[in-house]
Structure 1
């Protein structure tokens, strides 16, 4: 593996920045299955997030068993559809204290998880779009190249 090259798990096909990355090795699921029986606003929230992120550059959507991860070189956001809302988190390279975040977990100086809950697509506003852009940079590991 050369610098910058992604390692692909030979079993599930998922890519990682690090060779032999620990992960739940399972084939991806079906995106639509995650939204079955959920309020239409839940899917609309996710679709709006996805529109913001795909405008930033290439992204892999990983429908896993319990969540939908968004991945570039690493996963930078994940979402779990519930009946009436969309739970999720962003990984940022800094702590951002905003009322929209339900919980913030600091794993390291440049790996800070920000949990949120969305009930309306309008909540994917300019502020959240900017934070999604920042999280995308973390997923691309550009924050490590400063």
Structure 2
């Protein structure tokens, strides 16, 4: 059985763990993150978001320094730049691939994969598969017994 999410009484964000450490600040505007950026940067983010929302419910959190995608936990984050979109996915395994600029292992099933997307076409079937894996981590399905889809 899945534990209910804890809601921070100050900022209203939800977390899988009670009293989880976080930057307790109001969320900003998604549009503000894309101000002054090339239009294809927003189109690339929208392509990512279309893939993720097809998987199930997701919260888009425009924080001060990044845009996080959150299910039970944050599983992806993006930083719009002038001509591209930097970001990372949290996967339950390390994937050595040229598309990942950096890989950081935080625990056995919490592996950050940093990338750069330059156009909506970069959100192809291969990347969509990684998004699906990251979404499963965000839903904490990687911690479930086999066959438990919660």
TM-score by length of 1: 0.97
Residue 89 (structure 1) aligns with: 88
Runs of 4+ off more than 2 Å: none
Within 2, Cα distance between the matches of 1:98 and 1:40?
28
- The SS at the match of 1:61 is strand
2:24 counterpart of 1:25: yes
Aligned mates of 1:134, 1:31 — CA distance in 2: 24
How large is the Cα RMSD of the aligned pairs?
A: 1.0
Question: Unaligned 5+ residue runs, structure 2?
Answer: 146-150
Deviation, structure 1 residue 42: 0.6
* Aligned match of 1:8: 7
State the 1:3 CA deviation. Answer: 4.9
Paired residues in the alignment total 145
- 2: distance between equivalents of 1:52 and 1:84? 21
Cα shift at 1:121: 0.7
SS across alignment from 2:137: helix
Distance, in Å, in 2 between the alignment partners of 1:19 and 1:69 is 19
Structure 1: unaligned runs, 5 residues or longer: none
Q: How far, CA to CA, are the matches of 2:71 and 2:82 in structure 1?
A: 28
